[in-house]
Amino acid sequence: MRFDLFPGALLCSLVLLSPRAFAQTPDLGPNVSIFSPSTPSATMQAAIDSVYAAQHHSEFGPQRNAFLFLPGDYNLDVPIGFYTQVAGLGATPDATHISGNVHVDAAFRNDNATTTFWRSAINFSVTPTDGTMQWAVSQAVSLRRMHILGNLVLHQKHGWASGGWMSDTLVDGNVDSGTQQQWISRNSDWKSWTGANWNMVFVGVPHPPAGDWPVPPYTKVALTPVVREMPYLEVDSANHWSIQVPVLRRNTSGVTWNAATPAPSRTIPFSDIYIAHPDHDTAATLNAQLAHGKNLLLTPGIYELTEPLRVTHPHTVVLGLGFATLHPTHGNAALTTADADGIILAGLLIDAGEQLSPVLVQIGPTGSHAHHARNPISLHDIFFRVGGAGIGRAGINLEINSNDTLVDHTWIWRADHGQGVGWDKNLSRNGLVVNGKDVTIYGLFVEHHQQFQVLWNGDRGRTYFYQSEIPYDPPTQAVYSSAPSTDGWASYKVADSVTHHEAWGLGVYSVFTYPNVFLSHAIEVPLAPHVRFHDMITVCLLSNGGIRHIIDNTGDPTVCAPPRRVDPKLTLFPTPSTATR
């Protein structure tokens, strides 16, 4: 097969397959670079360096980028900046192999990675030049379907880092979490793991580190109860492009792709996919394609939406490249779905508009009641932002009404810095509201909203890993009180009507900027025998206010001020004493 390099490092090829058919590289727009092993290394490196120069410190900038590598071997230095995705296009991670330095560096001074957001790597293998790959990251950063032929560090020279996600990934050497404050690893494996800080969660990991909560703060769940891996792009030897949709799996451990019989997937050919471009597509053009049963591949950029994208057909996939961003402009939702089997949303950033949207993403309409256990709706790397790039306002960021929905990594963030930030500016009542039953979430990061960060009304919900900073900026206790005798709004609230709920590995943190503001309960739940919480921590940063209890009226208060900060932990709720009340 012959590839010709065109300006912008976009490869276009035309391969004769039969007298009737041609395979052609799709037009993915100017923000996607597609490389092959025959592309000159200098050309690839120049394109990578140019994007990184623009994206290294562009925390709230408009540019979006993706680098796609066809199967083969490469020798490159690949720094990954803001709003940048790097992906292999092979059937397995080992089909695309990069020798060199694939890395994420701290975005702030003093090796501080606590604002290193919005970047991803998926479906390739890396042999680090010095034996160790640096992945110094925080929220909205995913490492998926990867093979690291060496070691992996999750920090930069032991500077702070604030959480991240690893799934379907194999590390041949050691993973060092170091100063990472919290982390979730799902269906991954390694030779060894070192490091612990506040809250480290391992789900479906065959070789978790030794020790258990609270010292070290490891939460271990042997099997992942139900999951579908995130869809990914694949190109075969005849240059046929497709989206691969991994099948639903139950009670699993380890990665999907290196077994004698890899997990199967459903193939969506590009003939069934509409390729969206932010420079000319609108909500109307995208909805027309969705109404005709097309799947959507959103190329990198910002999509200004005057109405929501409406996903109505079962089994529809909406996949974003390079942090494709949906921006509602008229107080509308960004996206809604029907209450239908097998809808998949993946790789999207939802950025609230200045006019208040009552809800940003709604999964199933209000009153949804169908059951989807055999083929659930699933969300993968769906991120939300209210403020930061400008004033944004929302009532509810993510509302889940459909039963059996799976969420596989989300960060739902009311911005605490950037433009348009303030208690009366970037308004957001709730991060997540769950009304559906049997909803399962892995990697739930929800921060800074003005009432409940999470409100769970549906029965039989499950959460594996929760990280939440409550809002920094309530100016007074009077405006931050959910009831006359209750300070603040619990970060994680399970409604009194719920009879079954379970959660593992939860961290709730206060960083109040005004004095004399407190939160009574980090978590509020009904006292019921089938409502169970495992491995919880609260932390108070700075020196103002604090959290009085971990869950309901159980758990010691945080102590913020010197000489000794206290970060209370709780292993199980209800405890034997509370369960008998």
Q: What number of other Cβ atoms are within 10 A of residue 303's Cβ?
A: 24
Cα gap 403→465, rounded to integer Å = 20
Q: Is residue 446 in some structural domain? A: yes
**CB of 97 closer than 8 Å to CB of 76:** no
Look at residues 59, 10, 22, 56 and name the one whose alpha carbon lies nearest to residue 421. Answer: 59
Backbone angles phi, psi at 215, to 5 degrees: -130, 110
DSSP 47-65: HHHHHHHHHSS-TT-S--E
Q: Is residue 371 in some structural domain? A: yes
Residue 559, strand partner residues: 566
Cα gap 515→542, rounded to integer Å = 10
Backbone angles phi, psi at 362, to 5 degrees: -120, 120
SS3 of residue 93 by DSSP: helix
**What's the confidence (pLDDT) of residue 579?**
59
Cα gap 541→6, rounded to integer Å = 51
Identify the CATH number of the domain in which residue 318 sits. Answer: 2.160.20.10
The tens-digit pLDDT sequence of the chain (581 residues) is 333 333 334 333 333 233 333 478 999 999 999 999 999 999 999 999 999 999 999 999 999 999 999 999 999 999 999 999 999 999 999 999 999 999 999 988 899 999 999 999 999 999 999 999 999 999 999 999 999 999 999 999 999 999 899 999 999 999 999 999 999 999 999 999 999 999 999 999 999 999 999 999 999 999 999 999 999 999 999 999 999 999 999 999 999 999 888 889 999 999 999 999 999 999 999 999 999 999 999 999 999 999 999 999 999 999 999 999 999 999 999 999 999 999 999 999 999 999 999 999 999 999 999 999 999 999 999 999 999 999 999 999 999 999 999 999 999 999 999 999 999 999 999 999 999 999 999 999 999 999 999 999 999 999 999 999 999 999 999 999 999 999 999 999 999 999 999 999 999 999 999 999 999 999 999 999 999 999 999 999 988 999 999 999 999 999 887 667 789 999 999 987 765 44
Q: Is residue 43 in some structural domain? A: no
**CB of 195 closer than 8 Å to CB of 213:** no
Q: What number of other Cβ atoms are within 10 A of residue 541's Cβ?
A: 16
Q: Which domain holds residue 492?
A: 273-579
Q: In terms of C-beta density within 10 A (0-12 exposed, 13-18 middle, 19 or more buried), how is residue 477 classed?
A: middle
Q: Is residue 340 in some structural domain? A: yes
Q: Is residue 159 in some structural domain? A: no
Pairing between β-strand 224-228 and β-strand 440-447 as defined by DSSP bridges:
unpaired
SS3 of residue 109 by DSSP: coil
**What's the confidence (pLDDT) of residue 462?**
98
Query: Euclidean distance between the first and final Cα of the chain, in Å?
Result: 72
Backbone angles phi, psi at 421, to 5 degrees: -110, 130
Look at residues 65, 54, 87, 116 and name the one whose alpha carbon lies nearest to residue 411. Answer: 116
| Helical ranges in 92-140 per DSSP H | none
b/e burial code for range 59-76 (CB count within 10 A of at least 16 → b): bbeebbbbbbbbbbebeb
Q: Is residue 472 in some structural domain? A: yes
Of the residues 229, 399, 447, 469, which is catalytic? 469
DSSP 157-211: TT--B---EEES-EEEEEEE-TTBSEEEEES-EEEEEE---SEEEEES-SSPPS-
DSSP 237-303: TT--EEEEEEPEEEEE-S-SSSSSSPPPEEEEEGGGEEEE-TTT--HHHHHHHHHTT-EEEE-SSEE
Say which residue the tokens 């409100």 belong to.
455
- Number of domains composing the chain: 1
Q: Is residue 14 in some structural domain? A: no
Cα gap 143→171, rounded to integer Å = 11
- Residue 362's H or E segment, with its range, is strand 357-363
**What's the confidence (pLDDT) of residue 542?**
86
Cα gap 183→165, rounded to integer Å = 6
- List of residues 6+ apart from 70 with CB closer than 8 A: 3, 11, 34, 35, 36, 37, 89, 90, 96, 235
Cα gap 503→524, rounded to integer Å = 12
Cα gap 439→404, rounded to integer Å = 5
Cα gap 549→486, rounded to integer Å = 11
Q: Is residue 335 in some structural domain? A: yes
Known catalytic residue at 469: yes
Look at residues 278, 313, 312, 280 and name the one whose alpha carbon lies nearest to residue 297. Answer: 278
